[in-house]
Amino acid sequence: MFLTKERVGGLLLLAFCLFYSWKIYDIRMLPFQANQAFTPRSIPQILAILGVCLSFLIVIFPSNKERLNLSELNWPLGLAFLALMSIYGLSVRPMGFLISTSVFLMAGFAMLGERNILKLVLVAVPLVVAFWALMNYGLSVYVAPLPWFLRG
């Protein structure tokens, strides 16, 4: 019964707080700040102490005994979507908005179970083109529509 939801969360946040505490020493101090009451490190130090204490308290005294049931969740699909978003971020500039976004949406629809290719194309492509036109002509927000090799 050790790994309850709260304890897992507390441990993860404790790790984050410890990492934060460690990184405080990377903040450069200017020579004249040595004896000042308040430096760029002051607030981070207070926060680090608070964060570590609170996460310890959550780990030691969890108010809830509920356990995390990972088997009910579709983790592979969630991770696949995270990868898809990351690839979209990498491709939106070189591949242009129209192609990268259409592919992102079609892949997303397909990953969630849409198997009709015609539907995939008919929902994604007109929507992306309309959105690009609205942003470009309606709100004057320009984003390159075409891939790098087709740009003039």
Partner 1 sequence: MLDGILIGLATAFTLQNIGFVIMGCLVGTFIGMLPGLGPMSAIALMIPIAASLEPSAGIILMAAVYYGAIFGGSTSSILINAPGVASTVATSFDGYPMAKAGKAGKALAIAAYSSFSGGVIAALLLLVSAPYLASVSLSFHSTDYFALMVLGLSAVAAFAGKGEVLKALLMTVVGLMLSTVGTDQTVGVPRFTLGMIDLVDGISFLLLVMATFALSEALMAIIKRIDESKREEERKAAAELGSMKVSKEEVKEMVPVIGRSSVLGFLIGVLPGAGATIASFLAYGTEQRIAGPEKGKLFGKGSVRGLSAPETANNAAATGSFVPLLTLGIPGSGTTAIMLGALIGYGIQPGPRLYIDQPDVFWAVIVSMWLGNIILLVLNLPLIPYIARVLAIPARFLLPLILFFSLIGVYFVSFNTFDIQLMVLFGLCATVLRLLSFSLAPMILGFILGGMMEENLRRALLINDDSWSFLWERPLTLTILLIAAGCLFVPMLSPLFARMRKKTINAAEAD
Q: Least distance to partner 1 from the beta carbon of 130, Å?
A: 13
Q: Least distance to partner 1 from the beta carbon of 152, Å?
A: 20
Identify which of residues 140 and 149 has a Cβ nearer to partner 1 in the complex.
140
Identify which of residues 111 and 117 has a Cβ nearer to partner 1 in the complex.
111
- Candidates 60, 62, 51; CA nearest to 19 is 51
Collect contacts of 144-148 with beta carbons under 8 A, ≥24 apart: 144/93, 144/96, 144/97, 145/96, 145/97, 145/98, 146/96, 146/98, 146/99, 147/94, 147/95, 147/96, 147/99, 148/94, 148/95, 148/96
Q: Is 86 helix (H, G, I), strand (E, B) or coil?
A: helix
Q: Rule CB under 8 A: which residues touch partner 1?
A: 5-6, 8-10, 12-13, 16-17, 20, 23, 26-30, 33, 36-40, 43-44, 47-48, 50-51, 54-55, 57-58, 61, 63-64, 66, 68, 72-75, 77-78, 81-82, 85-86, 88-90, 92-93, 101, 104-105, 108-109, 111-114, 123, 127, 135, 139, 141, 143
Identify which of residues 22 and 150 has a Cβ nearer to partner 1 in the complex.
22
Q: Least distance to partner 1 from the beta carbon of 128, Å?
A: 9
